């Protein structure tokens, strides 16, 4: 049986190789026959060459990655990663203020300045004109790409939405918002410790006014969108204020005397 299998294998190899006469000479049916060292060497070379040729001719089965084919998408992801790292650095400063940092006026003012400077840098990087151009180019590349693209399409969609939103916010406003956030946290901590709302009341109003200013900037000329819906979009994307009223209206009626 082994001899027959060997004969069949070498017969197939002979069809792939120009040295068919030597291969068939080795594929003998006589079980006592032995191939000479020279013939064995040629057959091994033939087998190796046939396998290599077959593998080279085989189609590539690994799906092509969109990031590997689109330089615009690669550059875009690189820029977004830089923004993400800056945002993480900002989060570390915020965590430090909440957990470890003291609440003296000098310390709070210094941290506010740091947060404001970093927010300005994040805004600058997030609204880089090159990002907008890369989004458009990568979207065009994606339209002509044959592979699986659902993840990339969603990334481009969200990135474009955030880019356009950030573009409407002046860098100065982004810095003031970050500084106010630092100040408000310190004021809230003092008011809570003293159980005195009046210590935080004025700062809270500043926070409301700031939220309205940012939402107004993001909304732009589309005044059909309620201001609260625009504010809410930062936390619940796509959730209109009317839907919030539907959800919580009955609860309010049941709880409020």
Distance (Å, whole) CA 154 – CA 166? 18
* Per-residue pLDDT at 62: 52
Segment 68-88 mean pLDDT: 94
**This prediction's pTM:** 0.66
**Tens digit of pLDDT for each residue in 2-48?**
444 444 444 444 444 444 443 333 334 444 445 455 445 544 554 45
**Tens digit of pLDDT for each residue in 206-245?**
999 999 999 999 998 888 888 999 998 888 888 898 998 8
As a three-state string, the secondary structure of the chain is CHHHHHHHHHHHHHHHCCCHHHHHHHCCCCCCCCCCHHHHHHHHHHHHHHHHHHHHHCCCCCCCCHHHHCHHHHHHHHHHHHHHHHHHHHHHHHHHHHHCCCCCHHHHHHHHHHHHHHHHHHHHHHCCHHHHHHHHHHHHHHHCCCCCCHHHHHHHHHHHHHHHHHHCCCHHHHHHHHHHHHHHHHHHHHHHHHCCCHHHHHHHHHHHHHHHHHHHHHHCCCCCCCHHHHHHCCCCCCCCHHHHHHHHHHHHHHHCC
**Tens digit of pLDDT for each residue in 162-201?**
999 999 999 999 999 999 999 999 999 999 999 999 999 9
Percent of the chain, pLDDT > 90?
52
- Dihedral sign for Cα atoms in the order 141, 145, 148, 150: positive
* Per-residue pLDDT at 196: 95
pLDDT band at 105 (very low <50, low <70, confident <90, very high): confident
pLDDT band at 115 (very low <50, low <70, confident <90, very high): very high
Distance (Å, whole) CA 171 – CA 165? 12
> Average pLDDT of the chain?
80
């Amino acid at each position: 049986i082994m001899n027959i299998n060997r004969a069949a294998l070498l017969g197939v190899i002979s069809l792939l190789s120009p040295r068919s006469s030597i291969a068939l000479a080795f594929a003998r049916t006589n079980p006592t026959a032995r191939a000479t060292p020279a013939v064995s060497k040629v057959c091994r070379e033939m087998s190796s060459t046939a396998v290599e040729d077959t593998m080279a001719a085989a189609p590539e089965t690994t799906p092509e990655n969109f990031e590997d084919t689109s330089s615009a998408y690669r550059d875009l992801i690189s820029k977004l990663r830089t923004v993400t790292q800056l945002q993480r650095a900002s989060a570390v400063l915020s965590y430090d203020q909440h957990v470890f940092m003291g609440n003296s006026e000098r310390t709070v003012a210094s941290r506010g300045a740091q947060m404001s400077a970093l927010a300005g840098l994040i805004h600058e990087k997030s609204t880089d004109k090159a990002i907008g151009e890369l989004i458009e180019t990568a979207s065009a590349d994606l339209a002509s790409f044959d592979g699986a693209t659902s993840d990339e399409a969603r990334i481009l969609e969200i990135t474009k939405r955030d880019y356009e939103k950030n573009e409407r916010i002046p860098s100065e406003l982004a810095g003031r918002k970050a500084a106010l956030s630092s100040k408000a946290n310190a004021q809230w901590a003092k008011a809570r410790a003293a159980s005195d709302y009046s210590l935080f009341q004025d700062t809270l109003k500043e926070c409301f006014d700031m939220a309205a200013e940012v939402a107004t900037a993001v909304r732009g000329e589309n005044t059909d969108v309620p201001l609260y819906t625009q504010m809410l979009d930062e936390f619940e994307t796509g959730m209109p204020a009317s839907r919030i009223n539907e959800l919580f209206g009955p609860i309010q009626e049941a709880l409020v005397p």
